[in-house]
Structures are given as C-alpha cells and as structure tokens.
C-alpha cells in the first residue's frame, strides 16, 4: 500500500466486528511501528496489548468503576484547556457529526454518557492497547509516543486492520494501573482500539475534515 493511500484510508473507527486478531499480526504491526523515530533514539514507548479475558476484565471493571467514582474521570497528568478557538469549534464540529450519526440528540446526557463508555469497550474491538510513558521523560518524548502511535495506525491500515486512538483511557487510570500492573513511575497516556471495522455502522462513515495548509503552515524563504 502506498503511504498516501494508507494515510487517506485510515480513519478513527468507532464500531468494530468482534473477529479476533492473531498475536502474530499484532506483533508484526508493533515491530513495524517501532521503526518510528524518537528523540536520540530513546524509544520511550511501552504498550500493554490486551485481548481475551484481560481485555474483558479491563472493560468490565473500568465501566463499573466509572459508575461509582466519577471524580476519578481525569488524567493523572495535567491537561491543557482546549476550550478556546480554534480548537473548541473543531471539537464541536466533530461532536456534532459523530453524535448525529449515532442519533444521540444534544442534551441527552444519559445517552452521551453511555456512548462515552463505549471508549472503554474499545468500541467492541478484540484488541486494546494501553500506552504508557516514564513520568521523568519530557514533552519531546511524548511526541515520540505520538509518532509511534501513528506508525501503529498506518502499519495496521496497510494490513487491513483498523484503529481508534483513545485519549479516554487516561481517565480511570487507577483501575487500569491495577489490572495491568503498570508501575507507579509511568503515566497511562492513552489507549487504542484495534480490529476490523464494522462496515455497516453509520458512525464509521464519519469523515473528520481537515483544515487546508494555508491555515496551519507558515512558509518562509520560498
């Protein structure tokens, strides 16, 4: 697959078929993705790959926990305020399109809460990934982690496998830490769902538009 075709074909999938992925295939995707560059080649990424009973336990316990401990619905690390322009408009555009396809009306808090919970079901994907990073590393290393995640998404797509990055997993990290035995000196940064898209699901027709380069690129010296 040409790299541009993989970039164009990859989309965040939010409804998966339950068909399993073999460990060998996931290992191949991870091995390929680890070719991603990192600052001074420190390769700061660590990832927990869950399937089967562990995946199901994680889903079950996080969903149960969020019903009783809403106060823990925050990341362990500081999160910036994105509720300003231009970010807030882009978030709203995405939310409107997504909840429209899901037929969840604005203001239906209960349905919104349930749908947000689908993040913790990995949208029914058979494989979940939980990315962690050493707490002592700095922002440039978080960039490395993002590059690794993108490489995973493209290596997966090139093999017909779909993904969705899940920032939601930086919430309820106490449960995830316990179940996966994540050491205290690491942050749980985000998760990812991996599997085969349910092509019949309306939500998977969502296209998140991009701004043209005139909006985000400033050219000098051309």
Binding residues vs ligand FMN (CB under 6 A): 11-12, 14, 94, 119, 164-168, 190, 208
Min dist. Cβ of residue 183 to ligand FMN (A): 22
Q: Output the CA–CA distances (angstroms, integers) from residue 65 to 62, 118, 130, 140, 158, in the order listed.
A: 5, 14, 18, 33, 36
Report the residue number, 22 or 73, with the smaller CB distance to ligand FMN: 73
In the complex, the smallest distance separating the C-beta of residue 191 from ligand FMN, rounded to whole angstroms, is 8
CA 196 – CA 111 distance, rounded (Å): 25
Strands (E), the chain: 46-50, 127-134, 162-166, 186-195
Please state the closest distance from residue 220 (CB atom) to ligand FMN, in A: 28
Bond before 86 cis per omega within 30 degrees: yes
Cβ proximity to ligand FMN: between 31 and 93 the closer is 93
Q: Measured from the CB atom, is 11 or 60 closer to ligand FMN? A: 11
Q: Which is nearer to ligand FMN, 22 or 89 (CB)?
A: 89
Closest CA to 97 of 11, 194, 8, 7: 11
Closest contact distance (angstroms) between CB of 94 and ligand FMN is 5
């Amino acid at each position: 697959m040409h790299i541009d075709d993989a970039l164009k074909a990859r989309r965040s999938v939010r409804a998966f078929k339950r068909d399993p992925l073999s460990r060998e295939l996931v290992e191949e995707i991870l091995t390929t993705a680890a070719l991603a560059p990192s600052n001074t080649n420190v390769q700061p990424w660590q990832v927990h790959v869950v399937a089967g009973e562990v995946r199901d336990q994680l889903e079950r316990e996080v969903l149960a926990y969020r019903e009783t401990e809403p106060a823990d619905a925050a990341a362990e690390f500081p999160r910036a305020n994105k509720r300003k322009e231009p970010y807030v408009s882009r978030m709203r555009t995405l939310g409107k399109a997504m909840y429209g396809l899901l037929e969840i009306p604005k203001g239906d808090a209960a349905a919104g809460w349930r749908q947000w919970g689908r993040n913790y079901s990995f949208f029914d994907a058979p494989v979940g990934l939980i990315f962690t990073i050493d707490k002592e590393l700095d922002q440039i290393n978080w960039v490395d982690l993002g590059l690794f995640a993108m490489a995973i998404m493209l290596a997966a797509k090139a093999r017909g496998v779909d993904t969705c990055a899940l920032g939601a997993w930086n919430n309820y990290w106490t449960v995830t830490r316990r179940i996966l035995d994540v050491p205290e000196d690491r942050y749980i940064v985000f998760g990812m769902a991996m599997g085969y898209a349910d092509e019949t699901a309306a939500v998977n027709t969502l296209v998140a538009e991009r701004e043209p380069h005139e909006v985000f690129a400033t050219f000098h010296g051309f």
